[in-house]
Amino acid sequence: MTTPQQPRAQWLGRWGFVLAATGSAVGLGNIWKFPYITGEHGGGAFVLIYLACILAVGVPVMMTEIAFGRRGRGSPIDAVRRVVTESGRSSLWSLLGWMAMLAGFMILSFYVVVAGWSFAYLWKAVSGGLAGASVDDMAAIFAANNANPLNLGFWSTLVTLATMLIVGKGVQAGIEKSVRWMMPGLVVMLVILIGYGMFSGGFIDALRFLFVFDAGSLSSDGMLAALGHAFFTLSLASGAILTYGSYLPARASIARTTVTVAIADTLVALMAGLAIFPVIFANGMSPEGGPGLLFMSLPLAFQAMPLGGLFAILFFVMLSMAALTSAISMVEATVSWLVDNKAVSRRTAAWGTGIVLWLVSTLAMLSFNVGADWTLAGRHFFDWLDYLTSRWMMPLGGLGMVLLAGFVLNSATFRDELGLSPRWHALWLFMVRYVSPLGILVIFVDALGIARIEFGAHWPWLAAVLVAISVIGELASPRLRRTLAG
């Protein structure tokens, strides 16, 4: 195994990584988006397709990133460079690490603004600032929150400070110690909110919305939604998982750890649905997705129910913790690289990164108020950060990682690191060579609107194409490996 010059900090145990990686995966999008698209696209049928996509795309890519991190024991840039050097390949492949680290930083630059909404609404719930008689009233509160740059800037700054304070304390004393109470605390609050929802009068409707198996409503859009969410939900191709993997002890099973994180992420998302939708249905509201559900409809629904004020506080505490655990993971790659390469302390690296993050996130924050007219090609700065990362950098980064692992590196590298039996290793290799790249390409093509992808009843044909690609790929793999390796 490649060993860097400096000893690498490690999680105290496998569960430290599981909690941190699950915290990275469980963000604001999981709380509202996954439950909503589940109900919209067939309930239980969608969940089955989603789980299949997690196994076919999410888990193999995540295993690959963790293996890169642990093998290289460094930031995304350093880890990829060390692993390709070990295999005698070009160090230019480390550009994948640069792209992953940059993507994570860019995502965080607009994510702290969105996370600031959670903290702002927690304060409003505590101070009584969420009083309104209609969704329009709640929409006015939301608009007023964003229209004031000092107000919105204060909350996004608070998220930045909290994130850097935790990351600056280190892997064990900062990140692992914080997620060891935040993630169990988030689950406990979800359980309490689910219990509350069971007596709200809308629990049966929520169960039906989320879990009734309606294969007829599972369209091509639903399948693409499942595929896309399976890739993005696990924080792949953003540097977070690769960096967290670099702290994973050598004795921990990468496969078992990855599956545990994927299951935990899915369970938390479904629990969020069981916490949110009973309250929504009990008040006769629409379960529409997006920020409107969390910051307009749900506060109004809590207001109309017994002890609703208390449970609104509980909900926004949970939401704020989910936002914070994700923010921590997205900045760790940059801090890790600075510590490893610039001879600075972790605290200095964290606060230096925080200053740059604050400047960039301020530009993103201003997109909602004084900079509302500052657009380029019809997009604000906030929108550009989202567009470049989600539609270009993350899919391309994920595709590059699996092609590098599947075709370029020496096969012994990952056989040694993953520690799988020959049969399971062959399955993983098949997935990263053919299934995962094909899935990522579908996400990429659809997200960019290059082509309209219709699955319909064509699954047998798609399966036949996949088999043909795999056979041709195996026959051509020596030449392909030479071409990719340069």
Residue 108 belongs to a domain: yes
Bigger pLDDT: 220 vs 339:
339
| Whether 339 and 484 share a structural domain | no
Question: 318 and 464: one domain?
Answer: no
377 domain residue, yes or no: yes
Domain presence at residue 332: yes
Residues 362 and 410 grouped into a single domain: yes
**Residue 450: which pLDDT band, with cuts at 50, 70 and 90?**
low
Report yes or no: 213 and 42 within 8 Å, Cβ to Cβ.
yes
Asked, for residue 26, whether it belongs to a domain, the answer is yes
203 and 292, same domain (yes or no): yes
Do 246 and 164 share a domain, yes or no?
yes
The pLDDT value recorded for residue 383 is 94
> For residue 481, what are the domain limits?
456-486
On whether residue 2 sits in a domain, the answer given is no
Name the residue with higher pLDDT: 81 or 47.
81
Based on the fold, state whether residues 323 and 278 are members of the same structural domain. Answer: yes
Q: What is the pLDDT of residue 61?
A: 96
Structure tokens of 26? 């469980």
How much is the average pLDDT of 351-366?
97
Q: Confidence band (pLDDT; 50, 70, 90) for 284?
A: confident
Helix axes of 203-211 and 254-282: crossing angle, nearest 10 degrees = 130
Checking if the pLDDT of 143 tops 50, the result is yes
Give the per-residue pLDDT at 448.
73
Same domain, 143 and 175: yes
Mean pLDDT value across residues 54-67 = 95
Side-chain-side CA neighbours of residue 111 (13 Å): 25
Q: What gap in Å lies between CA 188 and CA 317, rounded to an integer?
A: 12
Between CA 324 and CA 178 the distance in angstroms is 10
* Environment class of 252 (CB within 10 Å of its CB; exposed 0-12, middle 13-18, buried 19+): buried
Q: Is the pLDDT reported for residue 13 higher than 90?
A: no
Whole-angstrom Cα distance, residue 400 to residue 95?
10
Q: How far apart are CA 14 and CA 28, in angstroms?
A: 25
Q: If 0-12 CB within 10 Å is exposed, 13-18 middle and 19+ buried, where does residue 340 land?
A: buried
Q: Among candidates 68, 52, 21, which has minimal Cα distance to 398?
A: 68
Specify the number of domains making up the chain. Answer: 2
Q: How many Cβ atoms sit within 10 Å of the Cβ of residue 186?
A: 25
Question: For 156-166, what is each residue's pLDDT tens digit?
Answer: 999 999 999 99
Do 446 and 464 lie in a common domain?
no
Pair 345, 478 in one domain: no
In a domain, 9, yes or no: no
Predicted local confidence at residue 44, as pLDDT: 85
Same domain, 198 and 321: yes
pLDDT above 70 for 280: yes
Q: Which of 190, 194, 198 is nearest to 321 (CA)?
A: 190
Average confidence (pLDDT) over 404-409? 92
Distance between CA atoms of 63 and 256, rounded to whole angstroms?
A: 10
pTM: 0.90
- Whether 5 is covered by a domain: the verdict is no
For the segment 118-130, the average pLDDT, to the nearest whole number, is: 93
Q: Phi and psi (nearest 5°) for 43?
A: 60, -120
Instruction: List the single range of 113-122, 246-255, 319-328, 470-479 with lowest mean pLDDT.
Output: 470-479
Q: Give the pLDDT score at 461.
A: 52
Q: Is residue 232 part of a domain?
A: yes
Pair 372, 474 in one domain: no
As a whole number, the mean pLDDT across the chain is 88
